[in-house]
Chains A and B, each alone.
Chain A
Amino acid sequence: MPKKIRLIARLDVKDANLVKGIQLEGLRKLGDPNAFARRYYEQGIDELLYIDIVASLYNRNNLSDIVRKTVDEVFIPVCVGGGLRSVEDVRHILSMGADKVAINTAAIKRPALITEVAEAFGSQCMVLSIQAKRSRTRPGSWEAYYDNGRAHSGYDVVEWAKRGVELGAGEILLMSVDNEGLQRGMDLELIEAVTAAVNVPVICGGGVGCGEDIVEAAAAGADAVACAAVLHYNKETVAELKEDIRTGGVEVRAV
């Protein structure tokens, strides 16, 4: 079967501003997240991913207003993450217009939350977010980080992904902390390892600098690719990325 992928814009938000860093450090403020969301929608992005990147430190997600404003005029799927700790937190953000939630920190601290969210809203709503960093001690393996890359869990990424699916996650959001923000290509070994280990769709992120990077990620098994810097800095438009993806022999939704 020909490979088809989804192209997702990842919008990291801090204090109502779109921000972008490198390897999750050195954040730059880029502006109003809604303006970026609207632009990507008009350019034909397939999905939006909002992450409140400081929320898990303060135990709350501040994206309600941004999400509510977005879904006023943006009619594509919206996934929201950052600081969601309970079924009630999830219910609230869904009522603001989110379609899915991405959970990392709270799932690592209490894996049963994955099952609770999947049972309450369906597994298609429960996206397990994994921040993967290459292990220095065990070559060829990755460790799951949380609190936006600050804290390490001791969990092996592939094992954690498998367990998350068993617990009810309907999708995995896999981000390479090592490659994040560098725009020099994705961690293809990581993508291969995780997509071969689970049977749910895997959104891969971290390192996209051009369409060719996305083609390689698709060949490695990615079902969707999340981009940030390449779009935020206007290096490429959504349409240009999609053109390059198609040229590389991978299908993507027509704009």
Chain B
Amino acid sequence: MKRVTVINYGLSNLLSVRHALEHFGAEVRITNTPADVLAARALVLPGVGAFRDGMDGLRRLGLVEPIRQQAAAGVPLLGICLGMQMLFDESEEFGLHAGLGLIPGRVVRIPESDTDGVPQRVPHISWAPLWPAGGRADFAGTALAGVTPGQECYFIHSYEARPRQDAFRLADTRYGGRAVCAAAQRGSVLGTQFHPEKSGPVGLAILEGFLKQL
């Protein structure tokens, strides 16, 4: 039985993540305690809402250091949407705020206009394709192995992560003519800007891929 611990810091719809993981036979524990996080064999950090509120939630619960320790020990960690953004060093949302610092880079606002200078919608809400990034030709050997390049996932975000090095980009999508980081990875730490639990069969294949690596 694959055991997955989902971190609940009060900001998200946990039911969908739980159902999606259970869909593949995982045993899911939802927790907000440092002890449970430290005992976890695999962690999922979901999240919607503002960066500052998310980090405040983790700090208030004393979860920042336990998450960092687990990541340093190589425990698989999947951050989703805001959970992905919090993996980075910092975010510009409502002033500059420090993140978990597990993947080097910064989270910035999506530009208000596309590369033609035409105003574009923010938040970016779309089913958008995943393309291999960071010099990859495909997703083989990663949690995204079940994804054929070009398959679409559900994005809903006003800010985007900019990894400091291309090597941390696992998948990109495009919005307004620009590359947007769709998934980032550094060692056992993985983040998806899209919601795999809301991306139909393609998203489920990604969660299955994450579980397979455990």
Is there an interface contact between B13 and A97, defined as CB atoms closer than 8 Å?
Answer: yes
Name the A residues within 8 Å of B203 (CB-CB). 75
Is there an interface contact between A170 and B123, defined as CB atoms closer than 8 Å?
Answer: yes
Residue in A4, A6, A99, A254 whose beta carbon sits within 8 Å of that of B16 in the complex:
A99
CA distance A75 to B123 in the complex (A): 21
B119 CB-CB contact with A under 8 Å: yes
A231 CB-CB contact with B under 8 Å: no
B15 CB-CB contact with A under 8 Å: yes
B199 CB-CB contact with A under 8 Å: yes
CA distance A122 to B23 in the complex (A): 28
CA distance A122 to B123 in the complex (A): 11
A169-208 interface mask toward B, CB cutoff 8 Å, 1 = contact, 0 = none?
A: 0110000000000000000000000000001110000000
Chain A: interface residue total (CB-CB under 8 A): 34
Tell me, rounded to whole Å, the shortest Cβ–Cβ distance linking A196 to chain B. Answer: 10
Is there an interface contact between A71 and B15, defined as CB atoms closer than 8 Å?
Answer: yes
Is there an interface contact between A75 and B116, defined as CB atoms closer than 8 Å?
Answer: no
B176 CB-CB contact with A under 8 Å: yes
Is there an interface contact between B152 and A200, defined as CB atoms closer than 8 Å?
Answer: no
Residue in A1, A41, A124, A224 whose beta carbon sits within 8 Å of that of B157 in the complex:
A124
Return the chain B residue nearest A119 by Cβ: B50
CA distance A124 to B51 in the complex (A): 13
Tell me, rounded to whole Å, the shortest Cβ–Cβ distance linking B79 to chain A. Answer: 16
Is there an interface contact between B13 and A122, defined as CB atoms closer than 8 Å?
Answer: no
Is there an interface contact between B121 and A199, defined as CB atoms closer than 8 Å?
Answer: yes
A80-99 interface mask toward B, CB cutoff 8 Å, 1 = contact, 0 = none?
A: 00000000000000111111
In chain B, residues 100-140, which have Cβ atoms closer than 8 Å to a Cβ of chain A?
112, 114, 116, 118-123, 125-127
Is there an interface contact between A1 and B122, defined as CB atoms closer than 8 Å?
Answer: no
A160 CB-CB contact with B under 8 Å: no
CA distance A220 to B154 in the complex (A): 23
Return the chain B residue nearest A254 by Cβ: B152
B49 CB-CB contact with A under 8 Å: yes
A214 CB-CB contact with B under 8 Å: no
A91-122 interface mask toward B, CB cutoff 8 Å, 1 = contact, 0 = none?
A: 00011111100000000000000000000111
Name the A residues within 8 Å of B120 (CB-CB). 199
Name the B residues within 8 Å of A77 (CB-CB). 154, 156, 195, 198
Return the chain B residue nearest A5 by Cβ: B126
B19 CB-CB contact with A under 8 Å: yes
Residue in A44, A73, A120, A200 whose beta carbon sits within 8 Å of that of B121 in the complex:
A200
B74 CB-CB contact with A under 8 Å: no
B158-195 interface mask toward A, CB cutoff 8 Å, 1 = contact, 0 = none?
A: 10000000000000000011000000000000000001
In chain A, residues 1-58, which have Cβ atoms closer than 8 Å to a Cβ of chain B?
1, 4, 6, 41, 44, 46
Is there an interface contact between A76 and B200, defined as CB atoms closer than 8 Å?
Answer: yes
Is there an interface contact between B158 and A124, defined as CB atoms closer than 8 Å?
Answer: yes
Supposing A6-B125, A6-B127, A253-B127 touch, asked if A95 and B199 sit within 8 A by C-beta, the answer is no
Q: Top 5 nearest A-B pairs by Cβ distance?
A: A253-B127, A122-B49, A97-B15, A201-B121, A201-B125
Q: Which residues of B contact A (CB under 8 A)?
A: 11-16, 19-20, 23, 48-50, 82, 112, 114, 116, 118-123, 125-127, 151-152, 154, 156-158, 176-177, 195, 197-201, 203-204
Can you name 15 A-B pairs with beta carbons within 8 Å? A1-B116, A1-B118, A41-B200, A75-B198, A76-B200, A77-B154, A96-B15, A97-B13, A99-B48, A121-B49, A122-B48, A171-B125, A199-B119, A199-B121, A201-B121
